[in-house]
Structure 1
């Protein structure tokens, strides 16, 4: 039996013992207890190794944990039952919390501030200690064996919400680090660090580069930075870093999203960011105010945080769900536009479902971008598929590192592969900054793409519809949340827009349909087009004579920008408006909105609503804006997916492949 297999067996046996205790039957309870016991056992072995190395070098090593508080002293004593519980709670832990005299000692003292003993039986605790004591960390040839085994335990957590917050499969972690290729001297940061698997993986690359004492000190205290909101996750992550020789990890327990990204000091920006933020959650309106693009979707807030924390020239590798790539509501669209225009998005690896065992249905992506201050030129995409004959990935058939090797080589080095393709900035911008691109039907050499890649793309589209419909249905189940309170006049929350052309506009002319929406103007343009109005992303535009029947549109993407009739009204909503753009559009095109508009139109034969009349229109303020926004975002996604499906481009592409040469 290998040392790793033996270690795994002992940890499982200790876990089984802890489940027998009345107070530690739950996974979270016994994992915390087991974590600090394993830590103290391994930390003594770590200190013994350091003392031996110091003796060889002719120097002294000052141990942090000494005397009867060393593992070998108290854990191998005759203490058991109530006496053992009393020693640990009244003597050992209070002493560890007061350690001082060195950076390492103070870090341990901070770590143990939150540690408690919840086990009810001192006899069960004694059995667990005896099992842990059988582990000989000196015999483990791989310095990272403990990390590998520990993370395998985390992956088996039955509470998906907990494990999903900070466990990322090792093959994905290593692949992301392989793409970025960190170098000694760069600062490394994870804003939702969990077990600090990313930082440990980076340390594996950087440790061999540390050839001097100064290099070692740099790694131990000034390279790794982490934030984590969960108490247990923060403890686990700090332990993991300490056990990997990072004596003074800058790991802070806090809710990362409470930091205002518009006021981040340049000194707090980092060269490299690796992270797998929680997604699918929601944040309250107070937290959303810390971001330029407000949203209750945690994945979008974390992406904005990473964009702000990245130092000039730095690189971010982040896991994002499919929705980040294509959702059309204003917050998602504006973040993607800024990402593509101010950063260089280098590559996106599209993962199939099943790679995250705690969320088997989730479809996720690995995104890599650099802070350049210049627009993206092109993006390399890679679609990961399971080996032939396998329907997908699961806990019993996990994703392996070798399946990610072609993706890493394509994104990092440009090594061509059958499942990789490239899209230019112009192509993506023309599609409304939609990053949900599909595999090319043909490569430049004329070789057809694998039909299964196109099938996978269609599956992702179907998954989006299902997910969005579920959110919509969930929202509608709580109709009481869709209330509107006080009414406010628009004059306080809108801004007139639409600069005049002052010449013959070179760009396209745009029209507004009576059913809403923007399209290229097909009629006869005026001979003098110098007074045409400019419409850009984020603008509303309406026909003053037809707004009461629905001739009102909202410009969502660059592909809709252009010039509209000089008679049209163009405006945008202010940043402090108590409603979103989607909400205002929804209200003004509803029957209630049309009735309100009719109260302010002017003119006898042909009634019109000029901008002055629009300012007097009253809009009810949503009582729960979060619920309204979620509902309207779902409508927008469904509308967009339906529009794409109506074009049947993917289906026709698939037919071209399947019937080629028939």
Structure 2
């Protein structure tokens, strides 16, 4: 994570946005995203110019035309604040809106760009801050953007867009993305899952940067994210870019709507924390999904969508509310039965209810499953997470208690020693037959056994005898006290 002067500078700029009248943290990041994008375009043009100078050939498809030199970051960053504000408002942003494309998906998300930085002084401070960030340093600029995104959460009202980073990293590590994977998040928000997956692949499989075929796949066809919030798409795209993924497939899509679920069996890994607080109209919901599960509840519809999008052999790690595990409606039962009987349900990791505080106290779990279309569930692994490294109140202060490393260690042992753990322990395996006998209830407490300490109680007649003895002693004591006072 970034520290020191750069972190302090971001904090000061953030405060300046707020005092300048921009109180929505998403709008702050959106404005910074536009500026980062225009700086990236200038860097790309500079690379093209250097190549042209070396080869003696003219630039093919230049991003900036000869009359647009003042729109380049390297030029306007040195302008007097008032002039810079005018150039960016009247020149740069109209340029972004009409940009046909620099060969990436990012330009598509800039077509409705609006310039809302209110004063030249604030704009100058923001440009100075961003100019100090080395765009070629993936770690630095990625951490900078992650730090800004964390401020969405700390601002409160938009915290639902942020799944805690350590929970994301756990889910990514449990699914262990491979260089050949096609990874999708159908409700991607700021693309936290996709970013974490890209970092994991880079770290565990360095060949994605050295093998040409793998590198092309990594930059252009490995990562897919969908959302129906254009602000989220812009922020998510820039998050991916700043973490070193050149052209991810980040697109506008209402994943549950009719006409949006044409894809089937195309992804090998789904990582997601879909919205699960609402219900949709039957008329606007995909008929394909309703054939899988007849419901209006978004959490069930998204699960049905994940099963549809995965290719056979594809795997998923997704966050669901506890109600999915034990809900008694026909739709709840049908979906759980499908996961156990038709697919391969691998694990249920119960999270403590404070994980999403201060924004929500809802109890959740991570479901891990593999699409087989032919069953395969033998034993389902359960883990009861008691602590995630942070206090479970609204403050979420770091603590020493953290089960997540143990979750990961035991997850990889679930085919060995975990099979022999008793159900009184923090993790254990449950045979499929037991789950079927419980009508496919997947709540951990249904299977966890509690050991009660044996306590010996005194017989009632003995207790009465003891009380009578005490009463005699009290009466004797009172008589002695009276004798002393008389």
Asked if Structure 1 and Structure 2 have the same fold, meaning a TM-score greater than 0.5 normalized by the shorter chain, the answer is yes
Report the secondary structure of 2:33's partner residue.
Answer: helix
In the TM superposition, 1:130-529 aligns within 5 A as: 130-137=128-135, 142=140, 144-159=142-157, 162-164=158-160, 166-207=161-202, 208-210=206-208, 211-259=210-258, 264-266=262-264, 269-288=266-285, 290=287, 291-292=290-291, 293-375=293-375, 376-386=377-387, 392=392, 394-398=394-398, 403-414=403-414, 416=418, 418-438=425-445
2:328 and 2:307 map into 1 onto residues whose CA distance is: 20
Gap regions ≥5 residues in structure 1: 442-652
Residues 349 and 367 of structure 2 are in contact (CA less than 8 Å); yes or no, is this contact kept in structure 1? yes
Per-residue Cα deviation, 1:141-178 (whole angstroms, up to 9, x for no partner)? 6564234323322321321xx330x3111111111111
Per-residue Cα deviation, 1:427-468 (whole angstroms, up to 9, x for no partner)? 111111100133866xxxxxxxxxxxxxxxxxxxxxxxxxxx
Alignment CA distance shift 1:148-1:64 (3 Å): farther
Report the secondary structure of 2:238's partner residue.
Answer: helix
Structural RMSD (CA): 3.5
Partner of 2:465: none
2:134 and 2:177 map into 1 onto residues whose CA distance is: 32
Alignment CA distance shift 1:387-1:85 (3 Å): closer
Q: Could you tell me how far 1:3 is from its partner in structure 2?
A: 5.0
Report the secondary structure of 1:13's partner residue.
Answer: helix
Residues 27 and 158 of structure 1 are in contact (CA less than 8 Å); yes or no, is this contact kept in structure 2? no
Alignment CA distance shift 1:387-1:305 (3 Å): closer
Alignment CA distance shift 1:352-1:108 (3 Å): closer
Residues 180 and 412 of structure 1 are in contact (CA less than 8 Å); yes or no, is this contact kept in structure 2? no
Residues 347 and 369 of structure 1 are in contact (CA less than 8 Å); yes or no, is this contact kept in structure 2? yes
Residues 381 and 411 of structure 1 are in contact (CA less than 8 Å); yes or no, is this contact kept in structure 2? no
Partner of 2:467: none
2:102 and 2:348 map into 1 onto residues whose CA distance is: 44
Structure 1 length-normalised TM:
0.60
Alignment CA distance shift 1:435-1:10 (3 Å): same
- State which of 104, 114, 127 in structure 2 corresponds to 1:116: 114
1:148 and 1:322 map into 2 onto residues whose CA distance is: 29
Residues 355 and 394 of structure 1 are in contact (CA less than 8 Å); yes or no, is this contact kept in structure 2? no
Gap regions ≥5 residues in structure 2: 458-486
Q: Could you tell me how far 1:44 is from its partner in structure 2?
A: 5.5
Alignment CA distance shift 1:63-1:260 (3 Å): closer
Q: Could you tell me how far 1:314 is from its partner in structure 2?
A: 0.3
Residues 228 and 254 of structure 1 are in contact (CA less than 8 Å); yes or no, is this contact kept in structure 2? yes
Residues 50 and 61 of structure 1 are in contact (CA less than 8 Å); yes or no, is this contact kept in structure 2? yes
Q: Which aligned runs of 4 or more in structure 1 are off by greater than 6 angstroms?
A: 45-64
1:364 and 1:56 map into 2 onto residues whose CA distance is: 57
Partner of 1:638: none
Report the secondary structure of 2:11's partner residue.
Answer: helix
1:351 and 1:51 map into 2 onto residues whose CA distance is: 52
